Amino acid sequence: MSRRAATPTSIGHEPRLSIGKTGGPAATIRGVTTDFPAATILGYPRIGPGRELKHALESYWAGRTGRAALEEAGRRLRAQTWARLHELGLRAPGALPSNTFSQYDHVLDAAVAVGAVPERYRGAADPYFAMARGADGLPPLRMTKWFDTNYHYIVPEIGPRTAFAASPDKPLAELAEARALGHATRPVLLGPVTLLRLARAAPGAPGGFSPLDRLDDLLDVYGELLSALAPHAAWVQLDEPIAVVDGGSPALRHAYRRLAALTARPRLLVATYFGDAGDALPALAVAPVDGIAVDLTHGVPRNLGLFEGRTIVGGVVSGRDVWRTDPDAARALLAAAGATAVGTSCSLLHVPYTLRGESALPESSKAASPESSEPASPESSKAASPESSEPAGRESSKAGLPEGLAFAEEKVAEVVSLAALGPKEGPLPQRPRAAGTLGVESRAPYAAREQAQRDLGLPPLPVTTIGSFPQTGELRAARAAVAAGRLPLAGYEARIEEEIARVIAEQEALGLDVLVHGEPERNDMVQYFAEHLDGFAVTRNGWVQSYGSRCTRPPILHGDVRRPAPITVRWATHAQSLTARPVKGMLTGPVTIVAWSFVRPDLPLRDVTLQVADAVREEVRDLQAAGIRIIQVDEPALRELLPLRKEEQEEYLAWAVAAYRRATSAASPGTQIHTHLCYSDAAEVLSAVDALDADVTSIEAARSAFAVAGFDRGIGPGVYDIHSPRVPERDEIESRLRAALATIHPSRLWVNPDCGLKTRTYDEVRAALSNVVAAAGAVRQSVR
């Protein structure tokens, strides 16, 4: 059955060409002609290849530059991006996306575009950044993970009285800007159902209210946005990743029936991604939307046949990993899906810009040879270092890394070349499945551990921190200097020891009970470990936006993981030598290491994670042998990796818990194991958190009300939000602690911030922690 696509109101039809001429504007595949371009991408990184946006933002926030400079930086980045994408072959009208740039976050932009700006921010000097970061004593909106990625979005607040109003200025301005540069772009908007499903009920909304209750009101506004765009764009992309999550179909059906029925509208491409949208496709298909983008990296979704005769963008080039696309497998997927255009599986926001300049990546897994000319530095790739070698009889996932990799630019080239090749029937790729039983290891029963840990001599309500202390510019500059060969490694290490001494002295002066060394030697809590483990490579400039101006360089886990030597022991023991109070050893857990890396695709994720768990276990054993009595194994990404579909969650949680327990199983009863989770709505995985069997769990609780009742081991609900520069008052911390005591026994309650302090300044940290210690002291008096 073939449906006729709606005719755009004011744009004439483009001339039609066959697929294979991706420089042309239209495609004919499997007899279907569409004016949708043959090759496209769903979105692109925006932080800038040299992190230009980060620098412009931080300079603006620090008051060093004005708004005009920030806007100019954005304009320059957009122009560069479109020019580069055009050069790479995305030349047909509508092939280039626009409105994918954001000064901070695309979900916040979507909230602004529909007028969902809470009243309390409207009077701020800069309401946009006040919502993103807080201002004048006003806390920011919450931030949370974007689906199962390591990108964080700002959570819109929508209530029964939110006065929606269309503000199409940003997408219109970007369209005009692109057009002036000679590009006819396809504006991208976050879809209405995803926007509402990701929003939270505004404070004060009546119980039972859900933002989705406002769908009809919001659709009116989307109608206005689409009519405003219609005269200027043939196609508009509406992103509905919520289509891959259970339970979205009725709202999607309703929304797209209404939007597709609009008389003045551009053609609508509904983009589904981050998984298999099969269940939602019938709902979208009953609406006469003009095209659908599907993520084919999880296989071909059921029900895609319902879109026959319409544009189907086959997302065969993954936006979530850095591996080259196998052209035969991709063409077979395109054929099986009946795709009429080739695309990325999702936006390329989640991968670095380009492989160009990554000269330090190992040429092949066998490049880990003594001939390597890499200088030993805190930035060097372990896979390129002389000590590293492949375990006998086991293989790396890619014969040669650079040739096996594709970052954003290389992925765009893949999309273009696949569109030229077109679909071709063939065997569909198979994903590796975990086989074999999972052994879950156990420590001694908690009661015995508690007894064995008594000699730690901790007071009730012990005060601690999550690990990192401020990462100063001076530390970062020192690391950059070692990497550039300007500072000898020994000088750098002496500097780190000095910093540890400072961090210990600060904590003793503040009166904390369990100290940390402050993690000054770490560029990042995952990258640092990757640099010291075999099987990983790290990039020089492979930055990926994490939130706002903050980025990470996800390591590339390409081979079998092994720990050639202790990693953290020297820093932890140095710290412990400086104080009589216990120092917590600080490790990143196996689930988080794999979650925040690009992981080899040839082994099941479960098996890779268990290899990492073995490496962490060796570190736990060595810390313990060196006299460290408290060891924290952080798992902030436990929730993030939870599969979006319920049917897959149980299996994941079972192996995630098993990996954590394997990593901590070397701890004797007298060694106190802590874990830390943050950002996530941990309530959804509470029984798995409990199953980690840590002696103490610190958890984000400052931004989201989190019920930690029911834990019968140590629990530290974060007493303030470290993501904001705001210093919490002593009274406010005290009342949080008293509230926690309503459900947590005083012998179980720990006192800590909700995450590490690396993004804060020493002034902020001193002020905040001194209030924390004072509040804990006051509450302690009443529970003794």
Ligand X SMILES: N[C@@H](CCS)C(=O)O
Q: Could you give the residue numbers annotated as active site?
A: 723
Residue 8: CB partners within 8 Å, gap ≥ 6?
A: 230, 234, 235, 265, 266, 267
**Only segment of 77-85, 264-272, 730-738, 750-758 that touches Zn ion (CB under 5 A):** 750-758
Which segment (354-362, 473-481, 496-504, 645-653) binds ligand LYWDKB7T by CB under 6 A? 473-481
CB nearer to Zn ion: give 298 or 726: 726
Closest alpha carbon to 274 in 313, 316, 241, 238 = 241
**Interhelix angle for 569-577 vs 489-510, to 10°?**
50
353 binds ligand LYWDKB7T (CB under 6 A): no
3-class SS string, 521-547 = CCCCCCHHHHHCCEEEECCCCCCEEEE
Stretch in the footprint of ligand LYWDKB7T (CB under 6 A) among 192-200, 409-417, 476-484, 558-566: 476-484
In the complex, the smallest distance separating the C-beta of residue 573 from ligand LYWDKB7T, rounded to whole angstroms, is: 23
Contact residue for ligand X among 230, 586, 628, 733 (CB under 6 A): 586
Alpha carbon 706 to its chain's center = 21
Return the residue of 89, 278, 582, 756 that touches ligand X, per CB under 6 A: 756
Residue 730, judged by CB atoms within 10 A of its CB (0-12, 13-18, 19+), counts as middle
Selection from ligand LYWDKB7T, ligand X, Zn ion, none that 468 binds (CB < 5 to 8 A by kind) is: ligand X
Could you say which DSSP state residue 328 is in?
H
Window 404-433: contact mask with ligand X (x via CB under 6 A): ------------------------------
Task: Characterize 668-678 residue by residue with b for buried, 16 or more Cβ atoms within 10 angstroms of its Cβ, and e for exposed.
Answer: ebbbbbbbbbb
* Per-residue x/- track, 456-495, ligand X (CB under 6 A): ----------xxx---------------------------
d(CA 402, CA 388): 18
Binding residue (CB under 6 A) for ligand X from 506, 634, 695, 754:
634
Other Cβ atoms within 10 Å of 371 Cβ, number: 6
Among 269, 333, 503, 526, binds ligand LYWDKB7T (CB under 6 A): 526
525 interacts with ligand X by CB under 6 A: yes
Residues 626-645 interacting with Zn ion (rule: CB under 5 A): 636
**Cross-strand partners of 293:** 271, 313
**Residue selected from 30, 84, 550, 730 as contacting ligand LYWDKB7T according to rule CB under 6 A:** 550
Stretch that binds ligand X, among 557-565, 594-602, 735-743, 752-760 (CB under 6 A): 752-760
Nearest 5°: the CA angle 195, 84, 174 is: 40
Cα 682 to Cα 658, 676, 685, 697: the distances in Å are 18, 11, 5, 11
Query: Binding to ligand LYWDKB7T by residue 546, rule CB under 6 A?
Result: yes
Q: How far apart are CA 436 and CA 187, in angstroms?
A: 47
- Dist CA 301 CA 554 (whole Å): 29
Considering only 128, 596, 660, 720, the residue that binds ligand LYWDKB7T (CB under 6 A) is 596
- The entry of Zn ion, ligand LYWDKB7T, ligand X, none near residue 183 (CB within 5 to 8 angstroms by kind) is none
Contact call for residue 719 and Zn ion (CB under 5 A): no
Is residue 365 near ligand LYWDKB7T by the rule CB under 6 A?
no
- Tell me the C-alpha distance between 359 and 600, whole Å: 20
Taking CB under 5 A as the rule, does residue 312 contact Zn ion?
no
Residue 586 binds which entry of ligand LYWDKB7T, Zn ion, ligand X, none, with Cβ cut-offs from 5 to 8 Å by kind?
ligand X
Smallest distance, ligand LYWDKB7T to C-beta of residue 597, A: 8
Are 752 and 463 in contact, with CB atoms under 8 Å apart?
yes
Least distance in Å: CB of 718 to Zn ion?
Answer: 9
Q: Which is nearer to Zn ion, 478 or 678 (CB)?
A: 678
Spacing of C-alpha 267 from chain mean position: 31
Q: Which residue has the tokens 């009285």?
A: 161
Cα separation of 753 and 759, whole Å?
A: 13
| Residue 713 exposed, middle or buried by CB count within 10 Å (0-12, 13-18, 19+) | middle
CA–CA separation, 210 and 181 (whole Å): 42
381 touches ligand LYWDKB7T by CB under 6 A:
no
- Please, what is the minimum distance in Å from the beta carbon of residue 404 to ligand LYWDKB7T? 22
By a kind-dependent CB cut-off of 5 to 8 A, residue 596 interacts, out of ligand LYWDKB7T, Zn ion, ligand X, none, with ligand LYWDKB7T
Cβ atoms 405, 324 nearer than 8 A: yes
Q: Which stretch binds ligand LYWDKB7T (CB under 6 A): 186-194, 366-374, 546-554, 666-674?
A: 546-554
Which has the closest alpha carbon to 740: 687, 702, 694? 702
User: Binding mask 116-155 vs ligand LYWDKB7T (x if CB under 6 A, - otherwise)?
Assistant: ----------------------------------x-----
Please report how close the Cβ of residue 615 comes to ligand LYWDKB7T at its closest, in angstroms: 17
31-39, 229-237, 590-598, 747-755 -> range binding Zn ion (CB under 5 A): 747-755
Residue environment code for 609-625, b if the CB has 16+ CB neighbours within 10 A, otherwise e: bbbbbebbbbbbbbbbe
Q: What is the DSSP letter of 139?
A: P
Give me the residues paired with residue 696 across strands: 674, 714
For ligand LYWDKB7T, give the closer residue by CB, 9 or 759.
759
Q: Using CB under 6 A as the criterion, which residues of the chain lie in contact with ligand LYWDKB7T when the complex forms?
A: 150, 471, 473, 476-477, 479-480, 523-526, 546, 550-553, 596, 636, 759
